[in-house]
Structure 1
Amino acid sequence: MASISLKNVQKRWGKTVGVKDFNLEIADQEFLVLLGPSGCGKTTTMRMIAGLEDITQGEVMIGDRVVNNLEPKDRDIAMVFQSYGLYPTMTVYDNIRFPLKIRGEDKAAAHERVMRAAAMVELEPFLDRKPAALSGGQRQRVALARAIVREPTVFLMDEPLSNLDAKLRVSTRAQIKNLQHELKTTTIYVTHDQIEAMTMADRIVVMSQGEIQQVGTPEEVYNHPNNTFVAAFIGSPAMNLTDGTLEGGVFTNSHIRLPGLPAVIEGPVTLGYRAEDANLVEQGGHLNGPIFSTELLGDATMVTCKVGDQLLSVKTDKDFRAPIGQPMSASLDLATCHLFDATTGERLTGR
C-alpha cells in the first residue's frame, strides 16, 4: 500500500496552464476525490500521477519513490476509465485475466485471482460472455475486476460512472466504495458530479481553473466552503448566494434585510445559505417573493421563489403544496448563514 505526495506540481502547454502549484498529501488507503467542472485540471492531475502526462514542474511520489520519470507500467497503479476499454473478442474471464497473462503469471494462481476479483463485483455468472452481451453496468464491473486483479498499490478512476444510468450509478458507487474499503487500496477518483464526491470520498479536493479551491472531508466542504465557488459547486441545490451590504451586522439589499449577523466587515458582501436552512413562514420573513416553481423530491419539497431578480431555494416538508405565483415568505437561521467577500469571494464567516 502507498501514500501519494504531490509537491508544487504544474502542467503547462506553452502559455496555457492546466494545473498550477498543486500540493497535496494523500494518505495510505485513503479514498480521495478530485472534483470540479470540465477543464479544471482534475483529469490532467490524475494522468500526471499515472505517468500518462508529463509533469512540467514539481514532484510526484508514490510511497517513498519519486515517480516523475517512471513509465506507467512501473508505478504499480491500475486505472479505470469512463470508457470501459474491454477487448470485444475476449470473454469476461479473459478480459479480467489479461493483465496477469501479460505479466506471465502462473495459470493456476491467475485463475484464483480472476475468480476472487469476479466474486467481488458479482460477475461469476457472466464469465463466459463477450462484452457485447453485457449491460453498461456489467461492463464497468469487468473493468473494475480487471483493475482489482492486478492488486496495485494505487487505484486511479477517471469518471468511471459517467456512462451509466442514474439507478446504476447509485448501486455502482456503493460497490466501488465498499470494494475500496475491503481492498484497503489508496484510491484517487475523478468526477464532476458532486453527489458522487460527497457520498464516496474520505476527502474531496475541489478544483477550478487548475488550482485547488479547498481540501476537506465532505462535511467540511459542505458546511464550511472556503469561497463562493465551492459554496455554489457543492450541494444539490447549490448554496443560495445573494449580494448586498453589511453595516453594523445588518445585511441589506433591495429585497432583503437581515440583522444580527457578525460585524466582520463594513461594506459589500455576499450572503450564503443552504436551502434546508431556511423555513417557510406565514409572513414577515427575511425573504419575500412569489413562488417560481415547486419540486417534489420524495422526502422533501424544493420551493424556488423569485426574490427581486434572483431565484432562491427553500427545502420544506414533502406535503407542501402551493401554486406558482403565490406569495411566499421565508426566514433564515442566522447561525447557518455564511458571509463571503463580495470582491474575492473568500469566506468571511459562517457556521
Structure 2
Amino acid sequence: MAEIRLKNVCKRWGSFIGVDNFDLVIPDQEFLVLLGPSGCGKTTTMRMIAGLEDPTEGEIWIDDREVTTLDPKDRDVAMVFQSYGLYPNMDVYQNIRFPLKVRKVPEAEHDARVRKAAEMVELTEFLHRKPAALSGGQRQRVALARAIVREPQVFLMDEPLSNLDAKLRVSTRAQIKNLSHELKVTTIYVTHDQIEAMTLADRVVVMKAGVVQQVGTPTDIYDRPANTFVAGFIGNPAMNLMEGQIDSGTFRGRNVEISGLNAGAGKVSLGFRAEDAAVTTAGQGQINAPVYTMELLGDATMVTVRAGNALVAVKASKDYRAEIGDQVGISVPPEICHPFHAETGARLD
C-alpha cells in the first residue's frame, strides 16, 4: 500500500531546469504514466522518486514517510529499465532470485516467490536458460519478474518496451496491463509513446521542458487537451490545428469557414480530431481544398488536404478513393472544434 506525494519538486543543473515545480498526489494502486518527448523531465522525475537523483527543491513522500534524502535501497521501490540489466552469467531463475539474496529474504521463501513471479510473466519453462538464449521480449519479462519478486510498495518503469519490435510491444503492453490489475501496486511508468500512455494509464501526466502541461485520465486528455502542445502530442494522427480568426462565432482561415462556434473574437488556433470530421463533395464542406495525400490504413482511409499552411487529416471509410489534387470538401461540425489561444496555446472553452 503506497500513496506517493511530490511536493513542489524541482531539479536544476546550474541555469538549466530539468523539472519545474512538480506537485502531485499519486493514490495507492494507481497506474500513472509520465508522458512527453525526449528531454521533458519525465525520467528525471522518476529517478528522483527512486532516489537516483536528488531534488534541488521540494519533498517526496511515500505514505507517511518523507523519502527525499533516503537511499534507493531504503525506499522499497523496484525499477524496470529500458535496458534489461540482466546478469549474463546467471540463468533466469538466478536473475529473478537475485533481489531476494541482496535484501536477505529468508532462503526458505526464495523458490516459491521466484516461481510465482516467473509464472505471472509466463517464464516457468525458461528458468534454466541464460539471457543470451532468450528473445528481447523474454528478457524484458525476466526484468519484470525480478521487480515483481521483491513485492515492493512501488513499481517504477522507465520506457521498458522501447527496445522491442512493434508486435512484441503490443503483447508485452497487454501483459503489463494485466500484471498491474493482478498486483495492485502503485506504478509510475515513463514513456514517449502516447499509445502506451493511453492504453495503460489510470492517469497521464503530460510534460514539456520540465513543466507539467496536463494531468488527467486518458479520456480527459484526449477529449479536452489543455493546450496546443497536448492537442498536438496526443492522438494518432495528432489533432488538426489551423490558424485563423474568429468573429461573431465564425472561424475563417484560408479555404476554411466554420460557423456556430462558442468562442470569443480574435486570433485562434482551431483544432479537431481526424475521426470527428468527414469527407464530403467539393464545395459542400467547411473546408474545401485539394487532396494532398491518401493513406490506406486497412480499417479506414486517411485523407489529407492543405488548408492554408496547415495539413488537415480526416478519416474516411476504408473503400474511399480520390486522386492527389482532387478537390474535396471536409465537413467540420462546430461542436467537435477546440479553440486555443493563438499566442499562449491555452484552451479557450
TM more than 0.5: yes
Cα deviation, residue 99, structure 1: 0.4
Aligned with 1:157: secondary structure? strand
Cα deviation, residue 310, structure 1: 2.1
The match for 1:227 is 227
User: Are 2:91 and 2:128, in contact at CA under 8 Å, matched by a contact in 1?
Assistant: yes
The match for 1:337 is 337
Cα deviation, residue 254, structure 1: 2.4
Cα deviation, residue 181, structure 1: 0.8
**Amino acid paired to 2:271:** G
CA distance, structure 2, for counterparts of residue 288 and residue 85 of structure 1 = 54
Q: Is residue 122 of structure 1 aligned with residue 122 of structure 2?
A: yes
CA distance, structure 2, for counterparts of residue 307 and residue 342 of structure 1 = 17
CA distance, structure 2, for counterparts of residue 325 and residue 40 of structure 1 = 39
Q: Is residue 243 of structure 1 aligned with residue 248 of structure 2?
A: no
Aligned length: 348
Deviation readout 1:47-101 (Å, 9 max, x if unpaired):
0000000110000001110001110000000000000000000000000000001
CA distance, structure 2, for counterparts of residue 20 and residue 295 of structure 1 = 40
User: Are 1:289 and 1:308, in contact at CA under 8 Å, matched by a contact in 2?
Assistant: no
CA distance, structure 1, for counterparts of residue 147 and residue 254 of structure 2 = 56
The match for 1:180 is 180
Cα deviation, residue 308, structure 1: 2.7
The within-5 A match list for 1:1-351 is 1-262=1-262, 264-283=263-282, 284-349=284-349
Note the aligned Cα RMSD (angstroms).
0.8
Greater than 6 Å deviation, 4+ residue runs: none
CA distance, structure 1, for counterparts of residue 26 and residue 225 of structure 2 = 20
CA distance, structure 1, for counterparts of residue 172 and residue 108 of structure 2 = 30
Cα deviation, residue 239, structure 1: 0.2
User: Are 2:241 and 2:310, in contact at CA under 8 Å, matched by a contact in 1?
Assistant: no
CA distance, structure 2, for counterparts of residue 55 and residue 282 of structure 1 = 57
Deviation readout 1:285-305 (Å, 9 max, x if unpaired):
011222122122222111111
CA distance, structure 1, for counterparts of residue 184 and residue 86 of structure 2 = 25
Cα deviation, residue 153, structure 1: 0.3
Identical counterparts, % of pairs: 66
User: Are 1:42 and 1:210, in contact at CA under 8 Å, matched by a contact in 2?
Assistant: yes
Question: Structure 1-normalised TM-score?
Answer: 0.98
Deviation readout 1:149-174 (Å, 9 max, x if unpaired):
00000000000000000010011011
User: Are 2:5 and 2:24, in contact at CA under 8 Å, matched by a contact in 1?
Assistant: yes
Cα deviation, residue 117, structure 1: 0.2
Please, which runs of 5 or more residues in structure 2 have no aligned partner?
none
Question: Structure 2-normalised TM-score?
Answer: 0.98
CA distance, structure 2, for counterparts of residue 326 and residue 241 of structure 1 = 22
